[in-house]
Amino acid sequence: MSPTNAITKGELAALLYQALAYQKRLPTLRSPYTIDPNRQIWGRDLMQITRLEVSISKRKVTAFHGEVAIKTYSVAVGRTGWGTPVGNHRILQTIEYPAWENPFTGDVIASKDPENPLGDRWIGFWTNGKEWSGFHGTPNRASVGQAVSHGCIRMYNEDIRELYSQVTTATTVRVSP
């Protein structure tokens, strides 16, 4: 538990409401947005990620806070001819609800289209000025764990949402074979 970690305004409002309801000053509220009063607010799940380490061969990414491994996720990586860029990188951009441009046709799939292969989060970490590589979700859950992408790192949508909320442009990314 660390008082230097932040909670969202929504979590703070929910905690205040629950405290007042517990003191019988407000009626109890049943909602998917209320917080379990026994939930540890300052836990590992809210730590800012300072480093991501990707193992292409293991098809895993591990998130670190300092030297402490917080969580490991299964991922899909680049297929033959479209390798995931190996080396040391830094997060360059984060986009909620990204659009996708087909690299062959130039056609664009809108950001919230269920067929969008990027899912609803994008964390870009490499570019050559024209092409990009990054972490993103996928509508194709069966692809996670495979070498099937155009060089990006695919994650389950729930995993990329979790990771997206904990990284910044200061987060480093190390990709190893």
- CB 135 within 8 Å of CB 123: yes
Q: Name the nearest CA neighbour of 83 among 120, 109, 57.
A: 57
Active site residue 150: no
Go through the domains of the chain in sequence order and give each one's CATH number.
9-44 (no CATH), 48-176 (2.40.440.10)
pLDDT per residue over 58-111, tens digit each? 999 999 999 999 999 999 999 999 999 999 999 999 999 999 888 888 889 888
Active site residue 152: yes
How much is the pTM?
0.72
Indicate which residue of 65, 89, 136, 150 is catalytic.
136
pLDDT per residue over 109-156, tens digit each? 888 888 888 999 999 998 887 788 999 999 899 999 999 999 999 999
Please identify which residue in the block is written with the tokens 């919230």.
112
pLDDT category at 31 given cuts 50, 70, 90 is low
pLDDT for residue 34 is more than 50: yes
What is the bridge-based pairing of β-strands 172-176 and 51-55?
A: parallel
The residue among 2 and 105 whose pLDDT is bigger is 105
How many residues make up the chain in this entry?
177
